[in-house]
Structure 1
Amino acid sequence: MRPMSDLSIRAADERDIDQVLAFWREAAEGTSVSDDREGVARLIARDPEALLLAEREGHLVGTVIAGWDGWRCSLYRLAVLPSQRRRGISRALLAAAEERFTALGGRRGDAMVLDENERAHRAWQAAGYTPQPQWSRWVKTLTP
């Protein structure tokens, strides 16, 4: 656990999955095909330090997925409880993610952010990230 005043940041474990999914329904913009118990369980099993949780007084107030594949540092699901926004939680989560990446040898963080989420754009910019308009993200939903 990493204390920050009254905020603590820790990696999620399997006991947190249901709470994280409920949190994302309330705090995150949009949903993903992998926003289910099995998807989050696979993430935690593959990379137990990737899903970071911010807690205040024992309550989940923020998340970020800080994925590392050995080559790229990828950031997903930065979300803060609406009643807790503008209190430094996203910055604290991103600082923890960046510390993780640096320790692993990562050199650049890539964030997936919805184009229409202007509030998120401001948060990412405040944390030092810049949009890359020359790149477009192409995605395909894979089905088993």
Structure 2
Amino acid sequence: MNLRPFLAADQPQVIALWHACGLTRPWNDPAKDIARKLTVQPELFLVIEDAGPIVASAMFGYDGHRGWVNYLAVAPSHRGRGLARQLMAEGEARLTALGCPKLSLQVRAGNAQAIAFYEHLGYATDEAVSLGKRLIADQ
């Protein structure tokens, strides 16, 4: 297993991984999400490869106030091996090195497995309501 920054050639495999993990939604074009990420802190877009194929990914970012993680994905065939924990630990270390005081994330309502995973890592529910507004339509 090799944890490293995303490379442009990884895009088809990463998008296929996100589809396999149920992370994509019709209103988010994954290719556009990747292109956007590559313009801001591309070194914080991490993947894990297993002798070639991409089997895990996570996008981290830091806006000067708070860090975020998006698109944490582990291939169904590679779950239970600690890859998500490894990605989170690496992302946390990189954000800490940038002076980031807090890492936030969002989990889709009803995803009890993901919530339990993050709670096991020490994350807790913030008493906040997440609001969003689409500024650029991907469709």
Same fold (TM over 0.5): yes
Q: Residue type matched to 1:70 in 2?
A: G
Q: Equivalent of 1:137, from 124, 127, 130?
A: 130
* 1:92 to 1:28, Cα distance in 2 relative to 1, 3 A: farther
* 1:36 to 1:30, Cα distance in 2 relative to 1, 3 A: closer
Query: How many residue pairs are counted as aligned between the two chains?
Result: 137
Q: Using structure 2 for the length normalisation, give the TM-score.
A: 0.89
Whether 1:47 aligns to 2:41 is: yes
Q: Equivalent of 2:59, from 53, 58, 65?
A: 65
Is this contact kept in 2: 1:62–1:89, CA < 8 A?
yes
Aligned counterparts of 1:56 and 1:122: Cα–Cα separation in 2: 26
Q: Equivalent of 1:123, from 117, 120, 124?
A: 117
For 1:12, the equivalent position in structure 2 comes to 6
State the 4+ residue runs in structure 1 displaced beyond 4 angstroms: none
Identity of aligned pairs, percent? 31
* 1:14 to 1:99, Cα distance in 2 relative to 1, 3 A: same
RCO greater where, 1 or 2, for CA within 8 Å and sep 6 or more? 2
Is this contact kept in 2: 1:12–1:44, CA < 8 A?
no
For 1:26, the equivalent position in structure 2 comes to 20
Q: Using structure 1 for the length normalisation, give the TM-score.
A: 0.86
Whether 1:90 aligns to 2:84 is: yes
Aligned counterparts of 2:9 and 2:123: Cα–Cα separation in 1: 32
Shift in Å at residue 45 of structure 1? Answer: 2.5
Shift in Å at residue 30 of structure 1? Answer: 4.5
